[in-house]
Amino acid sequence: MKRKAKLSLGFIFAFLLAMVVTACGGGNNAGAPADQNKQAALQNNNSTFTFGIIPAETKIGDDVLKKLETYLTGKLGRPVKASTYPNYNGVVEALNYGKLDLAYLGPLTYVMAHNESGAQAILAKTYDGKPFYHSLIIVPADSPYNSIDDLVANAGKISFAFGDPNSTSGSLVPSMKLKELGVYKGPNDSKFKKVTFTGAHNVTAVAVASKQVDAGAIDSAYFDSMIRDGKAKREDYKIIWTSEDLFQYPFVIRKGTDNDTIAKLQDAFISLKDPDILKSFAADGFVKASDKDYDSIRKAAIADGRIKPKQ
């Protein structure tokens, strides 16, 4: 009987020892998710940071893209890959589906992206030191039309060019004004002789100067930049309408981006002085921006049926 008792005690001791070892092992496993989170964060810091750019004017040259990638890589401490897209919508879709970490958008494409995926504006460019620009309607210098009222009165004789359908200054804002004046409802429903979409501001400028169209809508900053760079001659044009102030093109991060990355990006662009990069964005600097800066564009987009108001 005594031997059996000893065996039972030995068994109990062994069992308890096994439980302690198992518990210790369990403690190590419990710590695994925390370690995995650290590894995931480390991998995220080392993963490529993607940056998409709209075709606001023309494609930014590969040499400038490379300079921008190198600059941002140094500022963020991780590889950066910058790419231009053939149209505005392509950048928005890439941002919405998580294929981009950062995007350079027009104000309209920004409010669309914010509405669809919660993307956030964190920076805007400046031109002449101000974060504002305008939509312009331009005509050839020798055009008989001197005001938007002249344009309306002679709509049946006029071929009109918008830029990209998703451009703020090249489409949304001027189309809203023309709707207000009763000469435009849509591409296939207007009083104009012809309506075209050129796809880019520089193409609109060339089309107007060469009289391929009678009038066109364009971004004031890109128009001025083309003139300063010798890509267009001011004497070839008349400006017959100027919109109200529009907050400049934003740099937009995908929803869920951490605050440290946002701060590094803001510091990187605000500190950027490279003339080639600035010229490519038709900018002379950058400032911090927020979603509320684009409230007026959002209201216009809702009124135009481009986005639906959130309930």
Query: What CATH number should be reported for the domain holding residue 70?
Result: 3.40.190.10
139 and 287 share a domain? Answer: no
Look at residue 2 in the predicted model and tell me its pLDDT: 41
Cβ-contact 250, 103 below 8 angstroms: no
127 and 89 share a domain? Answer: yes
180 and 225 share a domain? Answer: yes
Span 69-94, pLDDT tens digits: 999 999 999 999 999 988 888 899 99
Asked, for residue 18, whether it belongs to a domain, the answer is no
User: Where is the domain boundary, 211, 228, 243?
Assistant: 243
Asked, for residue 66, whether it belongs to a domain, the answer is yes
Token pair belonging to 167? 């451009």
C-alpha to C-alpha distance for 222 and 15, rounded to whole angstroms: 79
C-alpha to C-alpha distance for 65 and 86, rounded to whole angstroms: 15
Span 146-204, pLDDT tens digits: 999 999 999 999 999 999 998 999 999 999 999 999 999 999 999 999 999 999 999 99
88 and 127 share a domain? Answer: yes
197 and 259 share a domain? Answer: no
Asked, for residue 94, whether it belongs to a domain, the answer is yes
Reported as a pLDDT band with limits 50, 70 and 90, residue 35 is: very low
Span 167-180, pLDDT tens digits: 999 999 999 999 99
Asked, for residue 10, whether it belongs to a domain, the answer is no
pLDDT at 20 over 50: no
Instruction: Cite the DSSP H helix spans in the chain.
Output: 2-30, 32-46, 62-76, 88-96, 107-117, 148-153, 173-180, 201-209, 220-228, 259-270, 275-280, 295-303
Range of the domain at 236: 135-243
- Burial track 4-14 (b if 16+ CB lie within 10 A, e otherwise): eeeeeeeeeee
What average pLDDT does the chain have?
86
139 and 127 share a domain? Answer: no
207 and 117 share a domain? Answer: no
Look at residue 134 in the predicted model and tell me its pLDDT: 97
Report the percentage of the chain scoring pLDDT > 90: 74
Out of 20-34, 152-166, 219-233, 268-282, which region has the weakest mean confidence (pLDDT)?
20-34
95 and 153 share a domain? Answer: no
Asked, for residue 92, whether it belongs to a domain, the answer is yes
Look at residue 112 in the predicted model and tell me its pLDDT: 93
111 and 256 share a domain? Answer: yes
223 and 251 share a domain? Answer: no
Cβ-contact 126, 284 below 8 angstroms: yes
Collapsing DSSP to helix, strand or coil, 262 comes out as: helix
Asked, for residue 259, whether it belongs to a domain, the answer is yes
Reported as a pLDDT band with limits 50, 70 and 90, residue 56 is: low
pLDDT at 264 over 60: yes
User: Where is the domain boundary, 227, 243, 259?
Assistant: 243
Number of H helices and E strands in the chain, helices first, is 12, 15
144 and 186 share a domain? Answer: yes
Structural domain count of the chain: 2
0.85 cut: is pTM over it? Answer: no
Find the mean pLDDT for residues 11-38.
Answer: 41
149 and 231 share a domain? Answer: yes
Look at residue 57 in the predicted model and tell me its pLDDT: 52
